[in-house]
Amino acid sequence: AQSVTQPDIHITVSEGASLELRCNYSYGATPYLFWYVQSPGQGLQLLLKYFSGDTLVQGIKGFEAEFKRSQSSFNLRKPSVHWSDAAEYFCAVGRGGSGYNKLIFGAGTRLAVHP
Amino acid sequence: ETGVTQTPRHLVMGMTNKKSLKCEQHLGHNAMYWYKQSAKKPLELMFVYSLEERVENNSVPSRFSPECPNSSHLFLHLHTLQPEDSALYLCASSQVFESSTDTQYFGPGTRLTVL
C-alpha cells in the first residue's frame, strides 16, 4: 500500500539558515510526488511536483526538491529560510494510473523560524 | 475570484443543525474533492467528483452528503454532526487527464466547529 512518512514533526531553524525537510514514500510504481505548504488558517499551496524527467525540481518561493528512487525519498530544500516560511509542509504521493491522481499525504512537518 | 474559493470560512453548528459548505473553482477543472483535516491526523480524502460523477466515497458517514451540480461547484451538506466532526474541511480541484498526471489545487478551507 502507498504511504508517506515525514519523520520530523517539528523543525526550528534560524532565519537565513538552510533547510531540508525529509519525505520518504512507499509505492510500487513510478510515483508522482508533491510538496504543499499550509500557513495557519489557510489551505494548501502547491510548492512543487515531480512526475518524470530531471530529478531535481524547482518550485516557488525558492524551494527545490530532489527525487531519489534508490532511497524512496523526495526531500524539500531551501538554501536560506525567511521568517515568512514558517508554516506546515506536507509531502504527498499520487497513485496515477487511470482516473484522477489519488493523493496520500504525510502527517506534515511544522517549521518554526527564529529571527 | 481566482483559484478555489470556499464559503463560509468559519462555521459553528449544533449537533441537530443542518448546514452546507460551498466550494467553487475558477480554474476550468473537471474534478473536485473534499478533504477533512483534523488535528494530529493526516489529510483524509472524503469524496471525489470527476466530470460531475462521484468516483470516490471514502467510507464517509452518511451525515456528510456531497453534491456536485456542475464542474465548477461542489457542496458538502451536513446534518446531525458529532463533536468529533469538528475539523478544517478543504476543497480541491484538478484537471483530470487519461494519464492521471493531474495536480490538485486547494481552497482556503472551512473551519467547522460542532458543539
Rounded to a whole number of angstroms, the distance from the CA of B9 to the nearest CA of chain A is: 9
Show the cell assigned to A100. 484522477
A·B CB contacts under 8 A: 65
Burial of B17 from C-beta contacts in 10 A (0-12 / 13-18 / 19+): middle
- Minimal Cβ distance to A43: which of B45, B103, B108: B108
Contact between B36 and B78 under an 8 Å Cβ cutoff? The reply is: no
Rounded to a whole number of angstroms, the distance from the CA of B70 to the nearest CA of chain A is: 17
- Minimal Cβ distance to A99: which of B41, B55, B107: B55
Give the pLDDT confidence of B13-60 residue by residue, as tens digits: 988 889 999 999 999 999 999 999 998 788 999 999 988 888 888 889
pLDDT band at residue A98 using 50, 70 and 90 as cut-offs: low
Say how far residue B48 (Cα) sits from the centre of its chain.
9
Q: What is the mean pLDDT of residues A95-104?
A: 76
B74, β-bridge pairs: B23
Rounded to a whole number of angstroms, the distance from the CA of B79 to the nearest CA of chain A is: 24
Residues of B whose CB is below 8 A from A89: none
Long-range contacts of A95-98 (CB under 8 A, 24+ apart): A95/A2, A95/A27, A95/A32, A95/B100, A96/A29, A96/A30, A96/A31, A96/A32, A96/B99, A96/B100, A96/B101, A97/A29, A97/B100, A98/B98, A98/B100
Give the pLDDT confidence of A28-76 residue by residue, as tens digits: 777 899 999 999 888 999 999 998 888 999 999 999 999 999 999 999 9
Q: What is the mean pLDDT of residues A80-96?
A: 93
A39: closest chain B residue by CA: B108
